């Protein structure tokens, strides 16, 4: 399995607080059958002001530490980017990392606020697509506007956006509303991938194996395989083909 959304880089967002915790999270993922991970720290202006340089520095630290263990996992780094008008500037400046490529477009892991869908989201998404950037919307099931109006996701799906399910939403750890919306979207097969979005050993540990079982039960095993392995592999293969 391949995890394309996780906060395992130490001390650059609200994820792993130390190298030891980062290694423990990677070990836990490996035990569940994860063989590749793309670390996606937050880029959230004014809150987590990460950039290519800060992400690469933390990534190198973790790679060096992992090399001293016997954990067999391949690691790359990208980011989870909070929606904002500045994204356009960062894209023009080539300052945002991508989680991979799909259908000849760079895939941007795009985070909406949890409260609502900001006005202008549709225009930003059209702008990104015109720039050959394909948004993959992170955990739409956690957005409260979508929890009340699930069909408001459809303009983004119809525009071509990918959707990423967070494993802990489906397993119920985030409460009933994200779980209900994730089940609704799963039954419609609107998600492309499931990821752990893991942050720490206590708060949201990696649970991809549990999500695989839940998707198998709710839909079928083919979709569980596609969401945990085949699709994340298609998306991220361009990253793993590059030497780190």
Under the rule (CB under 5 A), what is the footprint of Fe ion?
A: 80, 197
- Least distance to Fe ion, CB of residue 197, Å: 4
Identity of the residue, 15 or 150, whose beta carbon is nearer to Fe ion in the bound complex = 15
Instruction: List for the chain the helix, strand, coil content (%; round to 5).
Output: 45, 20, 35
Tokens of residue 78, six digits: 């990208």
- Least distance to Fe ion, CB of residue 222, Å: 27
Q: Are 152 and 146 in contact (CB under 8 A)?
A: yes
Identity of the residue, 137 or 219, whose beta carbon is nearer to Fe ion in the bound complex = 137
Identity of the residue, 168 or 219, whose beta carbon is nearer to Fe ion in the bound complex = 168
**What is the rounded distance in angstroms from the CA atom of residue 122 to the CA atom of residue 42?**
22
Identity of the residue, 4 or 219, whose beta carbon is nearer to Fe ion in the bound complex = 4
Cβ-in-10-Å burial (0-12, 13-18, 19+) of 148 comes to: exposed
- Least distance to Fe ion, CB of residue 5, Å: 6
Identity of the residue, 3 or 80, whose beta carbon is nearer to Fe ion in the bound complex = 80
- Least distance to Fe ion, CB of residue 215, Å: 19
- Least distance to Fe ion, CB of residue 13, Å: 8
Residue whose pair of structure tokens reads 């079982």 in the numeric block: 213
**Residues contacting 23, CB < 8 A, separation 6+:** 62, 65, 66, 69, 71
Please state the φ and ψ torsions of residue 14, each to the nearest 5 degrees: -90, 20
**Residues contacting 124, CB < 8 A, separation 6+:** 83, 85, 87, 88
- Least distance to Fe ion, CB of residue 204, Å: 9
Identity of the residue, 206 or 219, whose beta carbon is nearer to Fe ion in the bound complex = 206
What DSSP designation does 40 have? -
């Amino acid at each position: 399995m391949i995890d394309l959304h996780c906060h395992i880089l130490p001390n650059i967002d609200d994820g792993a607080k130390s190298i030891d915790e980062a290694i423990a999270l990677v070990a836990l993922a490996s035990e569940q059958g994860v063989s590749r991970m793309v670390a996606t720290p937050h880029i959230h202006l004014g809150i987590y002001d990460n950039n290519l340089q800060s992400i690469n520095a933390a990534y190198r630290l973790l790679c060096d530490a992992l090399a001293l263990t016997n954990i067999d996992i391949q690691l790359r780094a990208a980011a989870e980017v909070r929606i904002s008008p500045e994204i356009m500037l960062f894209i023009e400046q080539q300052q945002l990392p991508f989680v991979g490529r799909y259908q000849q477009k760079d895939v941007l892991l795009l985070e909406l606020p949890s409260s609502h869908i900001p006005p202008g989201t549709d225009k930003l998404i059209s702008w990104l697509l015109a720039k050959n950037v394909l948004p993959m919307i992170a955990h739409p099931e956690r957005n409260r506007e979508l929890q009340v109006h699930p069909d408001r996701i459809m303009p983004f799906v119809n525009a071509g956006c990918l959707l990423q399910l967070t494993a802990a939403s489906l397993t119920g750890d985030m409460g009933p509303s994200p779980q209900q919306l994730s089940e609704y979207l799963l039954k419609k097969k609107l998600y492309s991938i499931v990821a752990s979005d893991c942050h720490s050993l206590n708060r949201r540990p990696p649970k991809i194996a549990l999500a695989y079982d839940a998707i198998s039960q709710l839909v079928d095993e083919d979709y569980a395989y596609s969401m945990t392995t085949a699709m994340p592999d298609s998306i991220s293969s361009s990253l793993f083909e590059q030497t780190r």
